[in-house]
Amino acid sequence: MRRSDQRRDAVFAGYQHQVTGKPLEELLVDAKQFTRDLTEGVEVTKEELDELIARHARGWSIDRIAPLERNIMRVALYEALHLEDVPAEVAIDEAVELAKEYCGADAPGFVNGILGAAVREPA
């Protein structure tokens, strides 16, 4: 299974967990290791990721951002900031592609803008 597919699976596991409240362990029963690593990493760093998203989503509170878009950005930021083998550009590009496929027409630009600003922010 390609990493792109596993990223999508991680996004949807986080989304389902957020929307339905189902435990992540239940949602990840048949998941590949990279999907598990992403989902679990996002869960551990969710507060940090959401703060970063909120800081760059000018005029939008984190709760106002659609859950799917929020989870796409969480996975991308987790990869860009915490996985050394994933270049930030790849994480952002994958997130924009997911937003194009699964979100509204304005989502890809919104996701790209927030992620681009967030990864350029000095550590």
CB atoms within 10 A of CB 57: 21
Q: Residues 106-119: what's their mean pLDDT?
A: 96
* pLDDT given at position 81: 94
Which residues are within 8 A (CB) of 12 and not within 5 positions of it... i.e. 6 or more apart?
71
Counts for the chain of helices (H) and strands (E), in that order:
6, 0
Q: What average pLDDT does the segment 96-113 reach? A: 96
Amino acid identity at 89: E
pLDDT at position 115 over 90: yes
What structural domains does the chain harbor? Answer: 3-120 (1.10.940.10)
Average pLDDT over residues 97-109: 96
**CA angle, residues 96, 100, 106, in degrees to nearest 5:** 90
- Rg of the chain's alpha carbons, rounded to an integer? 13
pLDDT of residue 89: 96
Predicted model pTM: 0.95
pLDDT value, residue 67: 96
13-60: pLDDT as tens digits: 999 999 999 999 999 999 999 999 999 999 999 999 999 999 999 888
Per-residue confidence (pLDDT) for residue 123, from 0 to 100:
61
Residues sharing a CB contact under 8 Å with residue 44, sequence separation 6 or more, in sequence order: none
Please report the pLDDT score of residue 36 as a whole number.
Answer: 97
Amino acid at 115: L
Taking the C-alpha atoms of residue 64 and residue 110, their distance in angstroms, rounded to an integer, is 13
